[in-house]
Structure 1
Amino acid sequence: MTVRSPYADIDIPDVGLPEFLFSDVSDHADSVAVIDGPSGREMTFGELAHGVDRFAAALGERGLGKGDVIALFAPNNAYYPVVFHGGLAAGVAVSTINAMYTPDEVAFQLRDSGSKVLVTISAFLDRARAAVAEEGVVVSEIILIDAARDEASTPLPENALADLLTTTAERPSVTVTGDDVAALPYSSGTTGRAKGVVLTHRNLIANLLQVQTMGTHVSSGTKILAVLPFFHIYGMTCMMNQGIHARAAVVTMPKFELAEFLRIISEYRIDRVYVAPPIAVALAKHPMVEEYDIDCVDIVFSGAAALDAELGHAMGKRLNCTVLQGYGMTELSPVSHCMPDDRPDMDLSSIGVALPNVECKLVDPETGEEGPRGELWVKGPNVMREYLNNADATSSTLDSDGFLHTGDVATVTDEGVFYIVDRVKELIKYKGYQVPPAELEALLLTNDSIADAAVIGVKDADGEEIPKAFVVKQQGAQLSEDDVMSFVASRIAPHKKVRVVEFIDEIPKSGSGKILRKDLRARENAPA
């Protein structure tokens, strides 16, 4: 049973992303494109387009073009889109690196992607230098977005972005088509070590047009808060690129700090906020929220991980705003399903409906039969081309019919509304029964004494897999392990009960807000 989007298909132009975004930018040259949230510095669309043009010219001067890759290792800042789109305008692909990576992790991505230039900030220089010094890395130059740097002796040239943007060279004459590689973010997919996700210009343009159909409230008058990282595809597409496409103002934050987050919303009168569930928890529960005037917020859109409906409704009521949820993966550029702006009545437990041009199947992982419940398979113009240099991972994720196997278990209603039940790889099997961690985590977060929680399967003394909860207490809360287990046991079927509890200071999560279960498993298996 194939389920198609309820929306009509849209045409995807065969052009490069910079041409798609900047061809008519002169009509909005004086409008604000990007605001650096901490400092308030503004960049207009005219200045942004000029910076893109000059960075492309600087790369051309260095002999870089089609077939080459540059890496961008930085937190959100006003010059991130200059570097990203300048690279694409020169014909190169841009590999965005997680700002929290260690030197070894940075080196792996540089080596695997074949990046020839690394763009970063001075605060990351120690890690950047250590990474480029590793064997097999072919980076020949480090470019600093900010001017500050020390005078240490370095094996590679280190140049300031500001200097590159003063070049008088001609922008390289390069024809970029929709089939050319644009972005190389890294993702673990459904399992395993991070892999380079090959996203074409067509993939990214398609997803912008698909999202535009659903995001009817995003316009030139919108102010989008970009606190989730641009190096992650959620931030890259839904915040940075959607803002440019809609001619909206994007206000950047380098990292999430609740007080600064609330200050920026209040001061800049942000009306559209994209979050991951951990931020939703803070907005729904933290007393600090009451100290700021944030009634300007119209829509909070949650993605990157499942948002509990009760938590979402509590946040919406507290902020007097509409809360929406969507679903995606890096491999989907990233959005495949979401709740449209004009459907606030849609069940917040759902991920909404498939976007235009998207068709889906739900396939039983064990029998291979299609039905109303199963692993979600997605096909559309936003589906990645492949995993870089990894044919085996590609073939196990992307089938010959073009369907991407997400690794997430879903159900669908007769009206085409999808619900994520859990992940194929993360289901806990307790005495033959399936126990979804996401369901237990959502339940735990309804406890006012719990600030955050994660659940994994662990082995008991008999070798039976049982659910274990890692719990972060609310500040000042009095809560015992028995309290947590009793709370869950009184609200859920017996086979789903939490049977072990460990209190920790923080749940490990990726920059996009996903629980790093592998880190919890590593903690569990570490020697005493």
Structure 2
Amino acid sequence: MAIRSPLPDVEIPPVSVYEYLFGTITDDDLERVAVVDGVSGEATTFRALRDRIDAVAGALAARGFGVGDVVALHAPNVPAYVTVFHGLLRAGVTVTTVNALSSAPEITKQLADSGARLLITVSALLPAGEAGARDAGLGDDQVVVLDGGPDTGVGHTSLADLLADPHPAPDVTFDPATHLAVLPYSSGTTGRPKGVMLTHTNLVANVAQSMAIGVGRDDVVPCVLPFFHIYGMTVLLNLALRTRARLVTLPRFDLAQYLGVIQEHRATFLFVAPPIALALAKHPLVDSYDVTSVRAVLSGAAPFGESLAGAVRARLGEHVRVLQGYGMTEMSPVSHCIPFDRADIPSGSVGLLVAGMEARIVDPATGAEIEQPADGVSGPGELLCRGPNVMVGYLGNPEATAETLEPDGFLHTGDIVTVDARGVFEVVDRLKELIKYKGYQVPPAELEALLLSHPGIADAAVIGLPDEEAGEIPKAFVVPVAGASLTEAEVIAFVAEHVAPYKKVRSVEFIDAVPKSASGKILRKDLRATAG
């Protein structure tokens, strides 16, 4: 039997993303600040933002872009991203968001696979963007550089050029339940990147479902997690716009700059990935800034242990709610969160299913369904989810779609979870990342959370190394805190004190940094490539 969300259902109106975010905005809210450039300090009101979005939609429609077209957006977090992204959606265009760190060949593949007719980028990313567009068959007139123009020496059409000849926003008609809003590409850490088909209804539903996180109209949200990633797109950008909170954009993560924005703008709600949470918990620079305005920190994109949550709270103040969410691109992305008003839910869990979601837990070895217990905690199994935020499928890849989506609509997440009697879920590990030591399953995430509780360890990652006798042995990659003196024997002994014998770390390597994706996921394949 499916496990249902204990949260009350939310209304998911059958409207476009634009209509959902701006269709009911009041005159009072139009005068509020919507977006602040964290670098320059320039502020944009909701009225100005809406007018610019309409202008971009009109300009694109006048150039022949609309329903059925795909446009690639390749830019960091700048205010223009907000305008152009929503202008594209307003015009009925499907947006494929491109990682700002993508190489030219990666851009070429995404443009070709998505069928994009236009690439919109910024001058700092133009070398890769231009080369990628050219190799995908796009001409110079099919590349727009947002900050281009005579001052930058960039000859492509700029945003100012697009808006020079004003056109009204078009009247666009489509079915939000079937029309694709965005085509983000999966991270590719477990295979070839795939275009994830998400409709307007998927995105609208997930913003409505994410209201439980507790962002309100008086919140100030620093935006360092990239908008091109679904976490930044839905949980920062769209949720903040819907609740009329204030966004402060930052094009990249620099701890001093981030802390400066928190202090200057009196930021209240921080959305982070575990690497940023680690910095907030352990970096000495935090003590040089006033962060007393922060009321909540929510981490997502990768596992976040109870010890790290406690360290963040101890550093920022016991009044700060430390929350966690869970999801994946294929779910727009949020399927679980700790609601702000549920202080009884452990910060190391991913909380409850969001409103309107169902889940199943399946034993990966036998396929048997694992039931939610009446008492205590269930056994571990793979999480499957179903809800209005689940993708249509993978673009042009029916085989991968069939492998991921069951005929009844349940999506395989590839994550191993447990659930307790209250409906609180905890992610144990990735199905493909479990270490098999002499037949026992060893979750790397459990060992990583333990290692991070050591005061001399700044960051850590664990992988399985092939071993003739054991099958695999756990190996830890450890980043020591600056000035700490650690030995391999000390780390091995620390872990051994806290875990069953089969979970012990058998090898330790000290490194300068744990390789991670833009969303904060540990790149274990990179560690395996260098492991001895």
2:286 aligns to what? 289
CA contact (8 A) 1:37 1:253 kept: yes
Q: CA deviation at 1:176?
A: 3.2
For residues 200 and 219 of structure 1, the distance between their equivalents in structure 2, rounded to whole angstroms, comes to 25
CA contact (8 A) 1:38 1:253 kept: yes
Q: Identify which of 214, 235, 239 aligns with 1:238.
A: 235
Q: CA deviation at 1:142?
A: 1.4
Q: CA deviation at 1:167?
A: 2.7
Deviation track 1:248-285 (CA, whole Å, cap 9, x = no partner) reads 10111111111111110010000000011111111111
For residues 8 and 261 of structure 1, the distance between their equivalents in structure 2, rounded to whole angstroms, comes to 36
One-letter amino acid of the counterpart of residue 105, structure 2? D
Normalised to the residue count of structure 1, the TM-score between the two structures is: 0.95
Q: What does 1:119-518 correspond to in 2, within 5 Å? A: 119-135=120-136, 141-147=142-148, 151=153, 158-178=156-176, 179-188=178-187, 191-212=190-211, 214-216=212-214, 218-320=215-317, 321-371=320-370, 372=378, 373-460=380-467, 464-518=471-525
Q: CA deviation at 1:74?
A: 0.9
For residues 101 and 331 of structure 2, the distance between their equivalents in structure 1, rounded to whole angstroms, comes to 23
For residues 206 and 499 of structure 2, the distance between their equivalents in structure 1, rounded to whole angstroms, comes to 38
For residues 491 and 500 of structure 1, the distance between their equivalents in structure 2, rounded to whole angstroms, comes to 16
For residues 343 and 269 of structure 2, the distance between their equivalents in structure 1, rounded to whole angstroms, comes to 14
Note the aligned Cα RMSD (angstroms): 1.7
Q: Identity across aligned pairs (percent)?
A: 53
- Provide the aligned length of Structure 1 versus Structure 2: 519
Matched residue of 2:297: which SS?
strand
> Structure 2 vs 1, CA of residues 370 and 136 (structure 1 numbering), >3 Å: closer, same or farther?
farther
Q: CA deviation at 1:194?
A: 1.3
Asked if 1:20 is matched to 2:20, the reply is: yes
CA contact (8 A) 1:197 1:387 kept: yes
Deviation track 1:337-364 (CA, whole Å, cap 9, x = no partner) reads 1110101221122111111110110011
2:11 aligns to what? 11
2:375 aligns to what? none
For residues 54 and 515 of structure 2, the distance between their equivalents in structure 1, rounded to whole angstroms, comes to 39
1:522 aligns to what? 529
CA contact (8 A) 1:111 1:138 kept: no
Deviation track 1:232-258 (CA, whole Å, cap 9, x = no partner) reads 111111111111100110111111111
For residues 278 and 207 of structure 1, the distance between their equivalents in structure 2, rounded to whole angstroms, comes to 25
Q: CA deviation at 1:438?
A: 0.3
For residues 464 and 488 of structure 1, the distance between their equivalents in structure 2, rounded to whole angstroms, comes to 20
Q: CA deviation at 1:137?
A: 5.6
For residues 524 and 7 of structure 2, the distance between their equivalents in structure 1, rounded to whole angstroms, comes to 36
2:374 aligns to what? none
- Unaligned 5+ segments in structure 1 are none
- Unaligned 5+ segments in structure 2 are 371-377
Q: What does 1:39-78 correspond to in 2, within 5 Å? A: 39-78=40-79
CA contact (8 A) 1:481 1:502 kept: yes
CA contact (8 A) 1:350 1:420 kept: yes
Asked if 1:32 is matched to 2:11, the reply is: no
Matched residue of 2:106: which SS?
helix
For residues 138 and 172 of structure 1, the distance between their equivalents in structure 2, rounded to whole angstroms, comes to 26
CA contact (8 A) 1:185 1:330 kept: yes
Normalised to the residue count of structure 2, the TM-score between the two structures is: 0.94
CA contact (8 A) 1:118 1:142 kept: yes
Deviation track 1:112-167 (CA, whole Å, cap 9, x = no partner) reads 11111111111111111111121556885111121357547xxxx71111221233
For residues 190 and 415 of structure 1, the distance between their equivalents in structure 2, rounded to whole angstroms, comes to 33
* Moved >6 Å (runs of 4+): none
CA contact (8 A) 2:141 2:156 kept: no
